[in-house]
């Protein structure tokens, strides 16, 4: 399947659906019990046309990157878009370089397509330092594009101020139920400033499929509730998504979210009427308090 992309004026583009490689078990550290299943899922995803894979040095203490490295051996690297992230505590100049080299090694590649700040640098690390390190790696050709995660518009602008390269995306918690980024102006900001918004946790661990509104719309469009939930995200301007699944059946289901669109009325209906909406992420709420400090 040829997955459509969303493209910025700069020419940078991301497929509307990519695969995330974080799993719940990583909260406990390294867990190898699902490795074989995950490698098989990544390879199945590549065979079906998924190209964007999202990992991080923090996921399973780097184990997620190792799994990705094993899975992509033998595939054409130039056809893949690999995104990984540097943790907030590793964002001073030297630490960032060390983190980056370690990620390359674990993935078994000599460049990263999209290198993301996993958060704003931890207090005490000047953002200027972080952005200088990123610019240097872009100059060397080791990073193709830079982006960030979980940033308020103010912090995004602050990071952008100290780099000559465009921050192409903001990766944030967004789905039919979790609406912090609408409430705090992140979606508007990304749409106005030509930034891609990468929605993480798009199906809230699969929990949202029971919602009556989704089942009604699924019936109307002859799709599944999950497909309606994904389609709602990617029908919106500048929004793409990444989801994690080890299940080949779920990869097929999720790819069925692509190639059609909810009507504008139904997009708005979900926006207004989806029950029990949350205006702060339950996992990584945007840091508005810190944002207001000088
Ligand atoms: N930047 C950040 O701070 C940040 C934070 C969190 C996540 N992320 C990224 O975003 C990615 C996606 O987020 P996530 O993994 O937390 O959440 P998610 O994709 O919303 O949920 C993943 C869970 O949903 C299940 N699932 C997927 N498709 C399904 C389907 N069609 N039917 C039923 N269940 C389905 C998966 O189970 P099965 O494996 O059984 O299919 C998995 O347990 C992560 O993997 C990570 O790469 C980034």
Q: Give residue 207's pLDDT.
A: 85
pLDDT for res 79: 98
- Confidence check: pLDDT of 293 > 60: no
| Chain segment 107-138, per-residue pLDDT in tens | 999 999 999 999 999 999 999 999 999 999 99
| C-alpha dihedral (240, 245, 249, 254), degrees to nearest 10 | -10
Mutate which of 40, 203, 208, 232 for ligand 1 pocket (most atoms within 8 A of beta carbon): 203
Asked if the model's pLDDT at residue 28 lies above 80, the reply is yes
Q: Go through the chain and tell me how many residues it has.
A: 294
- Annotate 144-198 with DSSP letters as a single string: EEEEEES--HHHHHHHHHT-SS-EEEEEEE-SSSB-HHHHTTHHHHHHHTT-EEE
Ligand 1 centroid to Cα of residue 130, in Å, is: 28
Model confidence band, residue 220 (pLDDT cutoffs 50, 70, 90): very high
pLDDT at 291: 64
pTM for the structure as a whole = 0.97
Q: What CATH fold (topology level) applies to the domain 12-291?
A: TIM Barrel (3.20.20)
Residue-range domain boundaries for the chain: 12-291
Residue 164 has pLDDT above 50, yes or no: yes
State residue 294's pLDDT score: 43
Mean pLDDT of the chain: 96
Which residue, among 170, 107, 156, 163, has the nearest Cα to 137 in the 3D structure?
A: 163
Average pLDDT rounded to a whole number, residues 44-58:
98
d(C-alpha 26, C-alpha 156), whole Å: 27
Rounded average pLDDT over 16-28 = 93
Which helix (H) or strand (E) segment holds residue 265: the answer is: helix 264-273
% pLDDT > 90, the chain: 93
pLDDT band at 206 (very low <50, low <70, confident <90, very high): confident
Closest C-alpha to ligand 1, atom 39 = 245
pLDDT tens column, 246-285: 999 999 999 999 999 999 999 999 999 999 999 999 999 9
The helix (H) or strand (E) run that includes residue 130 is: helix 127-139
Which residue's alpha carbon is nearest to atom 34 within ligand 1? 206
Looking at residue 287, what is its pLDDT?
Answer: 83
Q: Cα separation of 168 and 170, whole Å?
A: 7
Alpha carbons within 13 A on the beta-carbon side of 7: 6
Report which of 179, 183, 155 is spatially closest to residue 167, judged by C-alpha positions. Answer: 155
- For residues 13 and 6, is the Cβ–Cβ distance under 8 A? yes
Two tokens at 201?
């946790």
Q: Using the atom order of ligand 1, give the atom closest to the CA of residue 224.
A: 31
Phi, psi of 92 (to 5 degrees): -80, 170
pLDDT of residue 292: 55
For residue 85, the model assigns a pLDDT of 98
Note the pLDDT tens digit of each residue in 74-106. 999 999 999 999 999 999 999 999 999 999 999
Question: How far are the Cα atoms of 18, 42, 55, 262, 279 from residue 266, in angstroms, in the given order?
Answer: 24, 32, 32, 6, 21
- Higher per-residue confidence, 228 vs 205: 228
Pocket residues: Cβ below 6 A from ligand 1:
20-22, 54, 118, 149-150, 171, 200-206, 226, 242-247, 250, 253-254, 284
The rounded Å distance from CA 107 to ligand 1 centre is: 20
Q: Which atom of ligand 1 is nearest to the CA of 250?
A: 31
CA of 245 to the centre of ligand 1 (A): 6
What does the block give as tokens for 11? 């020419």
Strand partners, 7: 13
Ligand 1 pocket mutation pick from 18, 19, 20 by most atoms within 8 angstroms of CB: 20
């Amino acid at each position: 399947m040829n997955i459509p992309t969303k493209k910025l004026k700069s020419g940078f583009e991301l497929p509307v659906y990519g695969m995330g490689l974080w799993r719940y078990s990583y909260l406990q550290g390294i867990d190898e019990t699902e490795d074989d299943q995950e490698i098989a899922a990544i390879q199945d995803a590549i065979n079906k046309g998924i190209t964007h894979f999202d990992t991080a040095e923090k996921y399973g203490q780097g184990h997620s990157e190792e799994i990705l490295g094993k899975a992509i051996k033998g595939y054409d690297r130039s056809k893949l878009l690999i995104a990984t992230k540097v943790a907030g505590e590793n964002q001073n100049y030297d630490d960032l370089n060390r983190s980056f080299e370690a990620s390359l090694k674990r993935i078994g590649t000599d460049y990263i397509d999209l290198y993301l700040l996993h958060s704003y640098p931890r207090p005490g690390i000047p953002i200027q330092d972080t952005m200088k390190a990123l610019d240097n790696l872009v100059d060397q050709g080791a990073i193709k594009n830079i982006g960030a995660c979980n940033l308020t518009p103010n912090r995004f602008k602050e990071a952008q101020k100290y780099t000559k390269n465009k921050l192409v995306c903001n990766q944030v918690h967004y789905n039919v139920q979790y609406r912090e980024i609408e409430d705090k102006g992140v979606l508007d900001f990304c749409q106005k400033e030509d930034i891609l918004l990468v929605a993480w946790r798009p199906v809230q661990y699969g929990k949202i499929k029971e919602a009556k509104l989704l089942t009604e719309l699924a019936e109307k469009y002859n799709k599944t509730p999950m497909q309606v939930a994904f389609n709602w995200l990617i029908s919106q301007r500048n929004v793409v998504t990444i989801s994690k699944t080890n299940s080949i059946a779920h990869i097929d289901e999720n790819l069925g979210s692509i190639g059609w669109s909810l009507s504008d009325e139904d997009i708005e209906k979900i926006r207004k009427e989806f029950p029990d909406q949350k205006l702060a992420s339950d996992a990584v709420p945007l840091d508005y308090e810190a944002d207001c400090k000088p």
